[in-house]
Amino acid sequence: MRPLDRRSLLALLPLLLGAPAVLAQDSWPSRPIRMVVPFPPGGSSDILGRLLADQMGKVLGASIVVETKPGGTTQVGTELVANAAPDGYTMLLGASTAFTLLPNLRKLNFSLDSFEVLGGVADYMAIMAVKKQLGIQDMKQFVAHAKKNPGKLSFDSAGEASAGHIYGATLAQGTGIEVLHVPFRGSADAANALVAGEIDFIIDGAITPMAKADRVVPLATFYRKRHPGLPNVPTLSEAGFDIAMSKGAGWSVLVPKGTPAPIVTRLSEALRKVLAQTEVQEALVRANSLAAWQTPQEYRAGVEADRRMYSELLPAIRIKGN
C-alpha cells in the first residue's frame, strides 16, 4: 500500500479530530442522565419531573435521575444547568417564569438562549382554596368578605414572585381587595399551612388533593379549563372574574446550549413520545398539569409573549425586583 502524502493527511485531519465526538454521540447514553428540578421536593414540579424522567428513561433505554435544586424562585437550579457541560447528561425541567418573570425582577446570568429547548411539556393548573373556618363557598363571597376586612386575610405561596404570589397579587389588584402575602419554601409547605388554618387562602395546584379530600374549600381554577380532578369547581372566568395569566407552556425540558444536535433530537423525540401516552397525560393531571406539547419554536414564541406581559403586569401589582 502506498503511504499517504502530506496533502492526503491534511485532508483527513478534520475527520480524525471529529471522530471522538462522533463516537461519543453514537454511544450516548452510556451513563445516567440527571434531570434538575429547580423546586423543592413534594410539589407539582417535583412530581412532574420524576414522571418525565421515568418515562423518558424507558424510551431511551437510559437511567434518568431527578435532582432537586430549589432556590431563588428557580434561579439556582436553572443557572446550574445553564453552566453544565453540553454533553447530553444534564437536563432541566424548566419553569417558564425563569425566562418570563425573573428577567423583569433581577439581573440573571442566563437566558433562554443559554439552552437548547427540547419542547414545552405541560400547563400548570392552580386551584384557589380557602380554609373551612371562613365559611366561604364561592369567589363572590370571598371578594365581598375581603372587602369588608381589608388587610386581614392572608395567603401563602411557594415563595416570593412564585406563580401563587403573582396570582394572589393580580387577584387583589383586579378586585380591589387588600390581602397579606406569606411566602413559604415550596408548594407542599404552603398547602399544609392552609390545611392547618395558619393562613386564609392559597392559589396553588398542590392544594388539589386536600380539596378533593374536603379538607379545604376550592373556589376557582386559575386556568382556561376546569381541573379534571375537580370538575365542579369553576374557572376564574366562569366565577365572574378575569385576571392576566400566562399563555405559554408552564414547563419545558431543556439542555445546555451546545449539546450535540443528534442528542437534542433524540431527547426531544423521546419527550414528544412520552407526552403522547394516555397514562402519562392522566398522571400529569394528578400532578395538577395538562400535557401541552410545544415545539421549541412554539415554546420560544410563548416565552417572549409572556415576558412582555409580565413587564407590564409586575409594576401594576407592585412586585418589584432586587
Query: Domain range spanning residue 37?
Result: 32-123+247-316
Torsion of CA 91, 93, 96, 98, to 10 degrees: -70
Pair (84, 108) in one structural domain: yes
Can you give the pLDDT at residue 10? 52
Pair (113, 73) in one structural domain: yes
Residue 308 within a domain = yes
State how far the Cα of 57 lies from the Cα of 55, in Å rounded to an integer.
Answer: 5
Pair (310, 253) in one structural domain: yes
Pair (118, 252) in one structural domain: yes
What CATH code is carried by the domain that includes residue 132? 3.40.190.10
Instruction: Decide: pTM greater than 0.85.
Output: no
pLDDT digits (tens), the chain, 322 positions = 455 555 555 555 555 555 444 445 568 999 999 999 999 888 788 989 999 999 999 999 999 999 999 988 899 999 999 999 999 999 999 999 999 999 999 999 999 999 999 999 998 889 999 999 999 999 999 999 999 999 999 999 988 888 899 999 999 999 999 999 999 988 889 999 999 999 999 999 999 999 999 999 999 999 989 999 999 999 999 999 988 776 666 899 999 999 999 999 999 999 999 999 999 999 888 888 889 899 999 999 999 999 998 898 889 888 876 6
Pair (156, 82) in one structural domain: no
Pair (115, 201) in one structural domain: no
Single-letter amino acid code for the residue at 280 = V
Pair (118, 132) in one structural domain: no
CB 183 within 8 A of CB 156: yes
Residue 172 within a domain = yes
Pair (98, 185) in one structural domain: no
DSSP code for 317: T
Can you give the pLDDT at residue 150? 96
Pair (143, 130) in one structural domain: yes
Contacts of 43 (CB under 8 A, 6+ apart): 158, 186, 187, 188, 206
Residue 304 within a domain = yes
Q: How many domains does the chain have?
A: 2
Pair (138, 91) in one structural domain: no
Report whether the peptide linkage leading into residue 40 is cis, meaning its omega lies within 30 degrees of zero. Answer: no
